[in-house]
Amino acid sequence: MQRDTGIVSQISENRRGRQIFFGVTLLLFGGVAYVLTHDVVSSDSLSAPAMTPVALPSPKPLGDKIEFIVRRNDTLESIFRHLKLSLEDLQHILQVPGLRQRLSQIKPGDKVTVVHEDGVVQTFMRRLNETEMLSIIRGDNGFAAQVVKTPIEIQNAHAQGVIGTSLFNAARAAGVRPDTVMKLANDIFGWKIDFALDIRPGDRFSLVYEQKYREGAYIGDGRILAAEFVNAGETHRAVYYASADGNIEGYFSPDGRSMRRQFLRAPLDFTRVSSNFNLSRIHPILNTIQAHKGVDYAAPTGTIIRASGDGRVNFVGVKGGYGRVVILEHGGTISTLYAHMSRFVPSLHRGDRVKQGETIGYVGATGAATGPHLHYEYRVNGTHMNPRTVALPSAAPIPVAYATDFQMRSNSLIAELTGTPSTSVATLSKN
């Protein structure tokens, strides 16, 4: 048991990382092997190789090293008290020019690293951003501070998955983090695909995305660079492009049209919608109402409802069977309606401008609704259209000045995405 404890504490010092998880996996298997074969394998020969992947690379510090994650309401003083560090040292540190301001900005989740001898601070380090660390070191003439560069290495990772029970389960099985899946759904395909209602078993995705490493340790995912999503047999692809002059940045179809549209397909947090794979997904009660002219998303009370497009608030209040309802006008002839809300965003008033994706209210069951759901309508010239299938105007192509650069980048990313060697790009169309 002592061996386990030692490794857990080292993992917490290393933070999370794929390599670390790999190490844990090895350890678990090692543990199983030990249980099964402990007659012939000594515990030493098992623990030694399992320890290797999680060994700390840093040199042994002079004194005791503490890594501390800042909690809510922590101040430097409370941290020093908590860690039993010298408050006199804190006063001296805060007198170093420029440090008071840099240290006052600590926030929950920040990590500080302290090396001390019996509470006497030797070094105090705090990360300023992804690539810089503030390092305060005790010298012969008091404390001195410097900013240390800690560069990040980016490696491209590939993942693909087939959806069985849910997008998130498929992503987990493929080793993709939830925040990266959210980017796939919200930042890339959220204008094309209704992730609340359109996802089907057998849908599949593949991704090329960045993984960030610092000193060899995985610290998180970066951007998705290229993505494919096959939904109900239809293939959608997107690549990330940023022009050198900074004028153009975002996700584009391989032929250079922005993935963004005037309207989102699903105006709520799709992860909370309960009817993902329910093929008879029309709300049973509303199904019986002949004049039903919208889409229903069954989701828990309180689920965030977002404006599907930029617009202006035309109505916010209670209206008959709609209950608490918001109506937005989107210029021209289009309006959208969001009904049965439990509550509105308090600051929302008639005439206010809203941005696409902005929270306007929360799912409820007010009006003629027997269970919590969002009833969503999309009208053109007052006529109800199906928001899930209505053709949204496609975006303008990328400007001519960037077309060549874009196409080169796009071709190379799509080749990487589809696993086509760059020497045989010509075979791409077979896919």
* Interface positions with Zn ion (CB under 5 A): 286, 294, 296, 375
Q: Per the structure block, which two tokens stand in for 355?
A: 């941005």
- Phi and psi (nearest 5°) for 195? -70, -10
Q: How far is the CB of 217 from Zn ion (least distance, A)?
A: 49
Q: Which is nearer to Zn ion, 187 or 296 (CB)?
A: 296
| Contact status, residue 365 vs residue 301, Cβ threshold 8 Å | yes
Measured at the CA of 227, the angle between CA 414 and CA 179, to 5 degrees, comes to 150
**DSSP code of residue 294:** S
Cβ proximity to Zn ion: between 15 and 384 the closer is 384
Nearer to Zn ion, 282 or 403 (CB): 282
Query: CB 320 → Zn ion: shortest distance, Å?
Result: 13
CA–CA gap between residue 320 and residue 308 (Å, rounded): 23
Calpha distance 282→286 (Å, rounded)? 7
Cβ neighbours for 217, distance < 8 A, ≥ 6 positions apart:
14, 15, 17, 19, 20
Q: Which is nearer to Zn ion, 53 or 371 (CB)?
A: 371
**Helix 2-14 × helix 43-51 angle, to 10°:** 0
**What is the number of the residue whose Cβ is closest to Zn ion?**
375
Least Cβ distance, residue 294 to Zn ion (angstroms): 4
Between 30 and 372, name the residue whose CB sits nearer to Zn ion: 372
Nearer to Zn ion, 23 or 294 (CB): 294
- Determine if residue 236 is left, alpha or beta; phi over 0 gives left, psi from -120 to 50 gives alpha, anything else beta: beta
